[in-house]
Amino acid sequence: MTDPLFRDDAYLRSADSNVTRLTDEGGIVLDQTVFYPTGGGQPGDSGFLTWDGGRIEIATTIKGEGAEIILVPGEPSALPPIGTVVHQELDWERRHHHMRVHTALHLLSVVVPLPVTGGAIGEEKGRLDFDMEEAPEDKLAIEDALNALIERDLIVSTQWISDEDLDANPGLVKTMSVKPPRGTGRVRLVRIGSASEQVDLQPCGGTHVHSTAEIGKVRIGKIEKKGRQNRRINLHID
């Protein structure tokens, strides 16, 4: 298995680790990693690895079998042998943009309190698809409400609950298309706001900023029709 260091500290940009496996496709598995693997609408991290006498660019990161995380090189190159100690460095600017967009999308699901049917996160923008028959009449009102939440500088934190507790509280799950990450007997929740001033609480395995003010001002882009009962709201960060 790979210890997901990003889960406890999304701001950790580098770490040393050991190579535990090389995949047939040329991927690299480490015993621990700061690289987030593609999942939940968030792209896999990129960056590079260095070791004594070698360096390799990492184009993306994906989930492997079980709890493995696989780092995928950008092009064929000499790989560090199994057992090698490598130093991993994130493309931090790209990751931080993902964190800002991801947290902003959680707030969008607060401003538009409807079931979410899909979503995607990019460096400069993201989008959520809602189970919504008619498009909102006032796009600016959504934008203003979203920026008002961001400006409150709300704390973003995590906690864990059991699978049984999640089953007993199905209202925590907003997404219809993405299932909460399970498999360990517990589920990670992301809370926006303090326990006494909570704005949002939902299952999520992704990376987020420490506070909403870090997102910066956002802009609502196109609202698109994606089927009879589906509307896509696009969000842009500055």
DSSP 185: S
CA distances from 150 to 93, 108, 157, 195 (A): 20, 10, 15, 17
d(CA 29, CA 172): 33
- Residue 92 — φ and ψ, nearest 5°? -65, -40
Q: Grade residue 179 by pLDDT with cuts at 50, 70 and 90.
A: low
Scored b (16 or more CB within 10 A) or e, 148-159 reads ebbebebebbee
Sign of CA dihedral 192, 193, 196, 200: negative
Q: Is the pLDDT of residue 38 over 90?
A: yes
CB burial string 186-220: b at 16+ within 10 A, e below: ebbbbbbbeeeeebbbbbbbbbbbebbeebeebeb
One CATH from 3.90.1150.10, 3.40.50.2300, 3.40.50.300, 2.40.30.130 for 3-90: 2.40.30.130
pLDDT class of 76 with cuts at 50, 70, 90: confident
Q: Where are the domains of the chain?
A: 3-90, 95-237
Is the per-residue pLDDT at 135 higher than 90? no
pLDDT in tens, 49-63: 999 999 999 999 999
- Output the pLDDT for position 177: 59
* 70: phi then psi, degrees, rounded to nearest 5: -110, 125
Q: How far apart are CA 151 and CA 215, in angstroms?
A: 9
CATH superfamily, with its number, for domain 95-237: Threonyl-trna Synthetase; Chain A, domain 2 (3.30.980.10)
Of all helices (H) and strands (E), which one includes residue 205?
Answer: none
Bigger pLDDT: 182 vs 118: 118
